[in-house]
């Protein structure tokens, strides 16, 4: 065999260029999207403010809608409706829809041809904002073609709050927080006790704890409130205070949920921790107290805070027991105001009241969770 | 009552052993993990336990301090039957240190607190004495400068040395090591083995489950090969490495050496 035969001719073909063409336009889609959402949301808001602050009188159109001067806050409602039905608003909505569609088409059209991730993200973000602008604009269009006057009169007429705000409102807000806090604090104690029973290796200790937990998790809170009240009133012949019954039932109910949280938290600690503690001669209770529970507590804080947020909302159920006016919490404050004035704006205000409490709490939970995810070193370092 | 003991019979001991395990059987459900194991260890001796994974080595070691209670058989420690239900196991365990594969340091405590917690809560030493003893042990394993570090800030080898110091601080008469280098990066194995070697040189009685064959050969007084829940072969490490008698041990060596 000759050398020439064994030699191979290696043809080097250039690899195909798999890149698509790059688009000349880059940030335009993002700006289109921002413009669309600004026109729809910002423009609508600006119009509302403009109509609200300018000196206007009840227009004939409003009087036709039966927004007569004898109705509390008629002018405010009139301003809202007029702003919504103005030609400026029409322009904003249709303009917003046009811009939004343009952003969608352009954004998704060019996203794949961008030459950097940042630019691709900008294009896609523009398209997403476009979708949001179109959807919101369509909803506002449909709304103003219905009876925005009736809705605004009944749900957005904050003038009717009158003497119910701010004094009684903030008193109610305080009552809501106190009610939820007492319930949660009691629930944590009940829950810790139940969790230790539920973790027992002896069935005789476990069974009643399981039965309790399943019962309270398996029946509606509203049923528990009513039953507790009437068992005390009729069964035991005690005339109970609604507030105390509610606090007790909230504690018992939250206890069932908190027990599961504690149990999961304790069980999530590696088995080796208990074995290490026991191999050093610690008793089961010492191992729990010094090694397991301190680690478990850190893991159960976020879910327990979530339980607290849930309980804040569930305090509304106390309405089935009825309260004295001085004991009103947010929901009953709204119900009281609504039945006095025949106006549901109280419920809108109540929602804002709940959000004012729950939103900061939810943010706090997320912050704590993030902190805990960064590992035990971080917490331990910060704690000690 | 006791089923027949499997494997190689144990030679009669010369002296009173520090720990003696007689006819140990262990079932996990239907799984018969230990099938009659005898083991005895005199003060100052190092018993190395080798064998394939799943063979029962770790279970055997965990039966020594009753982290697993033997289904049958008895464990005698310091002339006391600790399988007797009336035994105060917590008191026994203070005299029997154990080091784990996964270190199992308490992550929410500093290195020194990991050591002092049991000294204070179990041995009831006062704060100063516990700290003094803990620092002494940290110095022993070469980590006194890491006393205030949390386990998360230590390397695997350092954590394992703290775990050894934690066990030693109780002043045990017997140390149990359960594959203590298996979870370590290769470059960190040496520092832990060095501490164990030093401990053996100082005369500590040790039971060591390990895959480190070099350590087994040089440090072990006795070696057992545990396979299928029985001691398949026992003897002096050097002789066993030089002349393995059974086919199973020969096969095992061919895989690990």
Residue A18 lies in a domain: no
Number of domains in chain A: 2
CATH of the domain at A262: 1.10.3720.10
Q: Alpha carbon of A281 to those of A180, A309, A373, A374, B173: distances in Å?
A: 42, 41, 32, 32, 14
Helices (H), chain B: 57-64, 89-94, 111-121, 127-140, 156-168, 186-201, 213-219, 237-242, 247-256
CB A123 within 8 Å of CB A107: yes
Beta carbons of B97 and A275 less than 8 Å apart: no
Among partner residues A270, A280, A375, which is closest to B93 by beta-carbon distance?
A280
Q: For residue A332, is the peptide bond before it cis, meaning its omega torsion is within 30 degrees of 0?
A: no
> What local confidence, expressed as pLDDT, does residue B4 receive?
54
Judge if A110 and A132 occupy the same domain: yes
Residue A343 lies in a domain: yes
Residue B57: CB atoms within 10 A of its CB come to 23
Judge if A214 and A173 occupy the same domain: yes
Cα nearest neighbour of A286 on chain B:
B121
Q: What is the Cα–Cα distance from A74 to A82, expressed in whole angstroms? A: 12
**Nearest residue to A319 (alpha-carbon basis) of A214, A372, A243:** A243
Handedness of CA A366, A367, A370, A372 (dihedral sign): negative
Each residue's pLDDT tens digit, B204-217: 999 999 999 999 99
> What local confidence, expressed as pLDDT, does residue A383 receive?
34
Judge if A65 and A173 occupy the same domain: no
Each residue's pLDDT tens digit, B15-41: 689 999 999 999 999 999 999 999 999
Residue A229 lies in a domain: yes
Which of B63, B77, B150, B154 should one mutate to test binding to chain A, selecting the residue with the greatest count of A CBs within 10 A? B150
> What local confidence, expressed as pLDDT, does residue A239 receive?
85
Judge if A181 and A102 occupy the same domain: no
Beta carbons of B122 and A381 less than 8 Å apart: no
Among partner residues B110, B152, B170, which is closest to A280 by beta-carbon distance?
B170
Judge if A83 and A210 occupy the same domain: no
Judge if A294 and A328 occupy the same domain: yes
Cα nearest neighbour of A379 on chain B:
B108
Judge if A186 and A327 occupy the same domain: yes
ipTM score: 0.92
Say whether B34 sits in a helix, a strand or coil: strand
Cα nearest neighbour of B163 on chain A:
A276
B102 contacts in A (CB within 8 Å)? 270, 272
| A204/B contact by beta carbon, under 8 A | no
State how beta strands B230-235 and B222-227 pair: antiparallel
Say whether A199 sits in a helix, a strand or coil: coil
How many CB pairs lie under 8 A apart between chains A and B? 77
Each residue's pLDDT tens digit, B89-131: 999 999 999 999 999 999 999 999 999 999 999 999 999 999 9
Residue B9 has pLDDT above 80, yes or no: no
Residue A77 lies in a domain: yes
Judge if A269 and A235 occupy the same domain: yes
Helices (H), A199-344: 203-218, 221-230, 242-267, 271-279, 284-287, 293-314, 330-341
Judge if A211 and A287 occupy the same domain: yes
Q: For residue A230, what is the DSSP state?
A: H
**pTM, entire model:** 0.79
What average pLDDT score do residues B171-194 get?
94
CB A279 within 8 Å of CB A212: no
> What local confidence, expressed as pLDDT, does residue A3 receive?
53
**Nearest residue to A345 (alpha-carbon basis) of A68, A50, A73, A146:** A73
Domain housing A279:
164-380
**Given A133, A156, A179, which residue is the final one in a domain?**
A156
pLDDT per position in chain A (384 positions), as tens? 455 556 777 888 888 877 777 766 667 889 999 999 999 999 999 999 999 888 888 888 788 777 777 778 888 888 888 899 999 999 999 999 999 999 999 998 888 888 788 888 999 999 999 999 999 999 999 999 988 888 888 888 888 888 888 888 898 899 899 999 999 999 999 999 999 999 998 999 999 999 999 999 999 999 999 999 999 888 898 888 888 999 999 999 999 999 999 999 999 999 999 999 999 999 999 999 999 989 998 889 899 999 999 999 999 999 888 878 778 888 988 888 888 888 888 899 899 999 999 999 999 988 888 887 765 544 443 333
């Amino acid at each position: 065999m000759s050398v020439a035969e064994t030699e191979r001719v290696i043809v080097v073909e250039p690899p195909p260029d798999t890149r698509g063409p790059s688009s000349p336009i880059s940030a335009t889609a993002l700006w289109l999207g921002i413009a669309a959402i600004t026109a729809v949301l910002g423009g609508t808001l600006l119009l509302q403010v403009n109509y609200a602050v300018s000196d206007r009188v009840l227009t004939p159109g409003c009087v036709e809608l039966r927004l007569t001067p004898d109705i509390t806050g008629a002018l405010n409602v009139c301003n809202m409706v007029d702003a919504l039905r103005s030609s400026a608003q029409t322009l904003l909505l249709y303009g917003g829809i046009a811009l939004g569609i343009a952003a969608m088409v352009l954004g998704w059209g060019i996203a794949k041809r961008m030459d950097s991730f940042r630019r691709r993200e900008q294009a896609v973000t523009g398209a997403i904002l476009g979708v949001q602008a179109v959807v919101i604009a369509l909803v506002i269009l449909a709304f103003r073609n219905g009876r925005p006057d009736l809705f605004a009169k009944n749900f957005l007429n904050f003038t009717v709050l009158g003497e119910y705000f701010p004094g009684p409102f903030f008193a109610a807000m305080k009552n809501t927080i106190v009610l939820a806090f007492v319930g949660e604090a009691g629930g944590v104690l009940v829950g810790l006790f139940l969790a230790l029973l539920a973790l027992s290796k002896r069935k005789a200790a476990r069974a009643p704890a399981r039965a309790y937990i399943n019962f309270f998790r398996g029946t509606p809170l509203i049923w528990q409130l009513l039953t507790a009240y009437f068992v005390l009133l009729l069964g035991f012949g005690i005339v109970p205070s609604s507030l105390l019954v509610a606090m007790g039932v909230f504690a018992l109910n939250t206890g069932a949920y908190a027990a599961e949280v504690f149990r999961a938290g304790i069980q999530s600690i590696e088995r080796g921790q208990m074995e290490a503690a026991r191999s050093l001669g610690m008793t089961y209770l010492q191992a729990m107290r010094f090694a397991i529970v301190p680690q478990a507590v850190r893991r159960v804080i976020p879910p327990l805070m979530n339980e607290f947020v849930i309980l804040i909302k569930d305090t509304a159920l106390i309405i089935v027991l009825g309260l004295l006016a001085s004991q009103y919490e947010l929901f009953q404050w709204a119900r009281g105001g609504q039945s006095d004035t025949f106006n549901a704006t109280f419920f809108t205000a109540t929602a804002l009241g709940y959000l004012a409490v729950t939103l900061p709490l939810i943010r706090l939970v997320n912050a704590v969770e993030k902190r805990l995810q960064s590992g035990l070193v971080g917490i331990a370092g910060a704690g000690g | 009552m006791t089923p027949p003991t499997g494997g190689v019979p144990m030679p009669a001991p010369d002296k009173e052993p520090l720990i003696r395990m007689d006819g140990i059987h262990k079932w996990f459900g239907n799984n018969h993990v230990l099938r009659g194991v005898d083991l005895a260890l005199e003060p100052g001796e190092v018993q190395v336990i080798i064998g394939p994974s799943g063979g029962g080595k770790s279970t055997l070691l965990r039966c020594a301090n009753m982290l697993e209670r033997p289904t049958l058989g008895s464990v005698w420690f310091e002339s006391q039957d600790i399988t007797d239900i009336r035994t105060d196991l917590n008191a026994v365990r203070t005299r029997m240190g154990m080091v784990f594969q996964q270190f199992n340091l308490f992550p929410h405590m500093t290195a020194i607190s990991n050591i002092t917690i049991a000294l204070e809560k179990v041995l009831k030493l006062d704060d100063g004495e516990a700290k003094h003893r803990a620092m002494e042990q940290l110095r022993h394993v070469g980590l006194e400068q890491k006393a205030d570090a949390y386990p998360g800030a230590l390397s695997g080898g350092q954590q394992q040395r703290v775990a050894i110091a934690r066990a030693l601080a109780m002043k045990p008469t017997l140390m149990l090591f359960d594959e203590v280098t298996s979870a370590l990066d290769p470059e960190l194995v040496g520092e832990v083995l060095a501490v164990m070697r030093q401990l053996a040189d100082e005369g500590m009685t040790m039971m060591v489950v390990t895959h480190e064959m070099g350590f087994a050969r040089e440090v072990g007084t006795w070696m057992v090969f545990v396979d299928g829940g029985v001691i398949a072969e026992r003897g002096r490490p050097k002789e066993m490495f030089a002349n393995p008698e059974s086919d199973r041990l020969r096969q095992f060596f061919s895989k690990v050496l």
